[in-house]
Structure 1
């Protein structure tokens, strides 16, 4: 048996095992339906500065692409911290490459009560080259900031999706656990 046939045979043997393991996609079922309907119920807090505005716009695009909810159930607050550090320095102490560290702390609140539901954070790093041209440095740093911001927003989306997925699957189980079980030999109230 050749290696390609052996590989195909092994793949055929493992497919039933994968189908029975309980794997389910987080983002899609293939039929075009919305997988995380709770995203449509999230209002995203207003920004304080330009960096937060860019993050908010990206979160709006990936969480609520159909627009902000009229009656939100959740409020997502966020705070950004960023730092730029030198990576490569020449012998003449000229910086030739820098790292931008972009961190976001996000908190999901119940819109009416203000109770904190989830606190999470995301950190992303992006590198950029430094040259003797100031304009090129501004552009490369801006692009690095945009890359890091998009990555951090995607990390927040994944964490929110995981939370809502876990909540959706644990809530029915917890509701069943809260039901009092009838005692043996005792009549149940109808």
Structure 2
């Protein structure tokens, strides 16, 4: 009985082979997707949110060698008050970070990928102005990481699909 889940998993393995799932980063660091990601340069992005986003993207791409692609990103960062107290002050905010990005082939100047990514975070507005500003900044840092992950995942998926169609 102890090994029943293992036996069931092994029995299902042949079925998974035919389902069309393939590892995104097959080949490890020398695979097609990983090497493509290292050839992406991140263009400058305006503002504090842009600085955070650019650093998050550069960390994930790990650029090395001469770039073949450039990623252009435009951000929309908004804070909206949601909850209202009886004295008409805001008690809850939502910070939203949206990115429109384009992957550009540097040799041809063509846009290979044009997409959007985004996320939002809720935060409490406290009596301390410092506390509220700190919460807003922390939310922006988290959102930059989340949106950067979405962008890199989409670029990696594009790289995998173009490599598969070239075969």
Distance of 2:26 and 2:140 partners within structure 1: 29
Tell me, in whole angstroms, the C-alpha distance in 2 between the residues paired with 1:8 and 1:63: 36
Cα distance in 2 for partners of 1:75, 1:11 equals 42
Higher RCO (CA-CA < 8 Å; seq separation 6+) = 2
By how many angstroms is 1:36 displaced? 2.1
**119, 123, 145: which one pairs with 1:124?**
119
2:60 paired residue number = 62
Helix, strand or coil at the partner of 2:38: helix
| Cα distance change on mapping 1:128 and 1:28 into 2, 3 Å | farther
Q: How does the TM-score come out when normalised to structure 1? A: 0.78
Q: Which residue of 2 aligns with 1:110?
A: 105
How far the C-alpha of 1:120 sits from its partner, in A, is 1.0
* Aligned-partner SS, 2:67: coil
Deviations 1:62-96 (A, max 9, x none): 012xx453x21111101000111123222332222
2:81 is aligned with 1:81: no
Normalised by the length of structure 2, the TM-score is 0.88
Contact kept? 1:108, 1:119, Cα under 8 Å: yes
Cα-Cα RMSD = 2.1
- Superposed CA deviations along residues 129-159 of structure 1, whole A, max 9, x for unmatched, are 1111011111000000111111011000000
Aligned length: 166
Q: Which runs of 4+ in 1 moved over 6 A?
A: none
- 8 Å contact kept, 2:104–2:111: yes
Q: Corresponding residue for 1:37? A: 35
Q: Paired residue for 2:13, among 12, 15, 26? A: 15
Name stretches of at least 5 consecutive residues in structure 1 with no aligned partner. 173-190
Whole-angstrom distance in 1 between the partners of 2:3 and 2:48:
57
1:92 is aligned to: 87
8 Å Cα contact 1:43/1:68 also seen in 2 = no
- The residue that corresponds to 1:186 in the other structure is none
Match of 2:163 in 1: 168
1:6 is displaced (CA, Å) by 5.1
In structure 2, stretches of 5+ residues that fail to align are none
Whose radius of gyration is greater, 1 or 2? 1
